Structure 1
Amino acid sequence: MKTIEQNITPGYQNPLDKSFIEFKNVYKAYGDNKVLNGISFTIKKGENLVILGRSGSGKSVAVKCLVGLTKVDQGEIIISGEDITKLNEEGLNRIRMKIGFLFQNGALYDSMTVRQNLAFTLQHNNKSLNENEVEAAIKEALQNVGLEEAIDKMPAELSGGMRKRIGLARALIIKPQIIIYDEPTGGLDTITAREIIELIRSIKLKYNATSIIITHDLTCAKYTGDRIIILKDGVIKAEGSYKDIENSEDDWVKSFFEQ
């Protein structure tokens, strides 16, 4: 069996320099708990950005702010030239329609088959599709994650890795401009985690979506991220390629890689 280093080549660097997502001096606190303390970073179109950080560092709150589920206290979040912090709920919903989510546990509807799970998401985003168009989109999404045969299965019949794949198919079926991966390899064995990493990389090449990958898994970070930021206490402690960060002289950053 090939090692992950042999099986996955390093990610390509997108030649586009224009920022697609930008956080500008973003603050967020819950009472006295200051979760984000003026973070600023950009993501280029087609880039995979990995956000690393221990529990409570602000990773999940940053993503909630990005999709408008949490309002920032101060700062701007720009998506494709539009400051989403100024949008009303209708405007936010328009932005959310462009975002695909892979949740940590797959978050499938247990009472629906795989086909029904995917159809529900697609029809929620695009009510104008006819039955044949929906079926074709479902089969394409399942083909992209290698699970065409699971179309009529119930979530309870799927392994953890299969649930992640179906969750990813559901994210892809809307042809998103942005994909958010929440702990994509969390709770998986080494071989299944490697398969998910390979899927993330192949999806980057096929869809050229702009992706944010929240993870604790350094292997996932290394092989899926074009760039990595590490959050500590709501601020960016390190930013750069995996190699840049791994070779940091900062004691705290070095300790992160010695877990």
Structure 2
Amino acid sequence: MIQEKIIQETTPVSKTDTAVIEIKELYKSFGKNEVLKGVNLTVKKGENLVILGKSGSGKSITIKCIVGLLAIDKGEINVFGTDITKLDNAGLNEIRVRIGFLFQNAALYDSMSVRDNLGFTLKRHAKDLSSEEVENQIKEILESVGLSEAIDKMPSELSGGMRKRIGLARTLILKPEIILYDEPTTGLDTITSREISELVLEIQKKYKTSSIIITHDMACAKHTSDRLMILKDGIIHAEGTYEELEKSDDEWVRSFFI
């Protein structure tokens, strides 16, 4: 296994050595199909970690395990210092509120306007807010993603890039400390993909988030990552900065950067 040396980040975002996510020897199978075979990874506070890997390598499975959407077979998943695999539903929900998850398709409610999509999420978790407070928070978060004018639109009226932004707004409205991005630029044109990547960095800086970003988009990986990991055969095969892995002695690792 290759273990690339990590160089000091130059991103002007405050980072610490405190781990907000720490996975130890994570195993996950589906029947006889062993997907994860001892994954170990750490995400530090304020860091953007990008995970690369071929299709079916277990990237999305890993982040679904982090929020308890999938039960693991073996291992530890420590989030904010707590092993979530030992929590009951109530304890797991307390952790989930602090984690935002941006799905590939943005997962908006098609029958609700943008305002109602955001308001539904906010009121579900902050029942003591007044209608005025809810409205103000909706407008603030839409401004953060550059879509204030879309507040009364329906999801069917939005472009793919706008849907991603609204999905991100719905994630941000609960002020998560961790954001898990599952293919944030999939299906988008080059310019829109760049805009979403820029937005990921803006969110990291403004909200001081820690993130895992699953992507096949190497431009997104280069632009957003403080550090990268590459999954192969169910384990972390290589890690380092974009520049380090691009120059790796391992031909398979370099193949991602061609």
Shift of 1:72: 1.3
Name the residue aligned to 1:98.
98
Alpha carbons 1:13, 1:226 under 8 Å: kept: no
Shift of 1:182: 1.1
Alpha carbons 1:11, 1:201 under 8 Å: kept: no
Which amino acid letter does the alignment assign opposite residue 92 of structure 1? L
Name the residue aligned to 2:192.
192
Tell me the secondary structure at the aligned position of residue 199 of structure 2.
helix
Flag structure 1 segments of 5+ consecutive residues without an equivalent.
1-9
Inter-CA distance 64–246: structure 2 relative to 1 (3 Å threshold): same
Shift of 1:13: 5.9
Identical aligned pairs, as a percentage? 63
Inter-CA distance 157–13: structure 2 relative to 1 (3 Å threshold): closer
Shift of 1:11: 3.0
Which amino acid letter does the alignment assign opposite residue 168 of structure 1? L
Question: C-alpha distance in 2, partners of 1:15/1:129?
Answer: 32
Alpha carbons 1:178, 1:210 under 8 Å: kept: yes
TM-score scaled by structure 2? 0.94
Q: Is residue 251 of structure 1 aligned with residue 256 of structure 2?
A: no
Name the residue aligned to 1:53.
53
Question: C-alpha distance in 2, partners of 1:118/1:105?
Answer: 16
Flag structure 2 segments of 5+ consecutive residues without an equivalent.
1-9
Which amino acid letter does the alignment assign opposite residue 124 of structure 1? R
Tell me the secondary structure at the aligned position of residue 85 of structure 1.
helix
Task: Describe how 1:89-128 pairs up with structure 2 within 5 A.
Answer: 89-128=89-128
Inter-CA distance 234–13: structure 2 relative to 1 (3 Å threshold): farther
Question: C-alpha distance in 1, partners of 2:46/2:79?
Answer: 13
Question: C-alpha distance in 1, partners of 2:92/2:166?
Answer: 26
Alpha carbons 2:15, 2:46 under 8 Å: kept: no
Name the residue aligned to 1:19.
19
TM-score scaled by structure 1? 0.94
CA RMSD of aligned residues (A): 1.1
Name the residue aligned to 2:134.
134
Q: Which moved more, 1:124-133 or 1:152-161?
A: 124-133
Which amino acid letter does the alignment assign opposite residue 74 of structure 1? K
Alpha carbons 1:58, 1:233 under 8 Å: kept: no
Shift of 1:31: 1.6
